Amino acid sequence: MTLAGILAFGLLSLGGVFCVIGAVGLLRMPDFYTRMHAASVIETLGAGLVIAGLIVQAGFTLASAKLVILALLIFFASPTATHALAKVAHESGVEPVARAREGEEAP
């Protein structure tokens, strides 16, 4: 395996690990607002590392340019979607847990 291949493997696998951590957080967190923070781990570090790994694998080609566009799309669009979710949830009266304890469900 070449050096670039090893680097790509490392980035891809690390990105996968952060995606799984984010998804575990999505299940473990006690209320909607805290779950949102877990999901943003997937959208930033998970997606970023996976796409970085693919760019290393592709080298300086048109495919990497498309991957950069994909990364920019995720980085510009995901905070907008997250903010929209948070705002509508707040307006609809979903209360954040003030001091969340383990295993407690949001009211």
Partner 1 sequence: MRKVSAAISLFVFWVLLSGHFTPFLLTAGAVSAFAVVVFARRLELVDPEGHPVDFSGSALRYWPWLGVEIVKSAWDVSRLIVDPKLPISPTLVRVKPTQVSAVGRVVYANSITLTPGTVTVVAGREEFLVHAITRAGAESLAAGDMDRRVTRFEGTR
Partner 2 sequence: MIYAPAIVALVVTLALAMARAFLGPTLFDRALAANAIGTVAMLLLAVLEFLTGRPEYTDLALVYGLLNIVGTIAVLKFFRVGDLGQEGTVEEGESR
The residues binding partner 2 (CB under 8 A) are 1, 5, 8-9, 12-13, 15-17, 19-20, 22-24, 26-27, 32, 35-36, 39, 42-43, 46-47, 50-51, 53-54, 57-58, 62-63, 66-67, 69-70, 73-74, 77-78, 80-82, 84-85, 88-89, 91-92, 94, 105-106
Among partner 2, partner 1, none, what does residue 92 contact (CB within 5–8 Å per kind)? Answer: partner 2
DSSP H helices in the chain: 3-28, 32-41, 47-58, 62-91
| d(C-alpha 89, C-alpha 103), whole Å | 21
Least distance from partner 1 to the Cβ atom of residue 65, Å: 5
Q: Does 72 bind partner 1 (CB under 8 A)?
A: no
> Which amino acid belongs to residue 5?
G
Please tell me what DSSP assigns to residue 42.
I
Q: Is 30 exposed, middle or buried (0-12, 13-18, 19+ CB in 10 A)?
A: middle
Considering only residues 5, 13, 37, 59, which one is a binding residue for partner 1 as defined by CB under 8 A? 37
98 binds, among partner 1, partner 2, none (CB under 5 to 8 A by kind): partner 1
Q: How far apart are CA 35 and CA 32, in angstroms?
A: 5
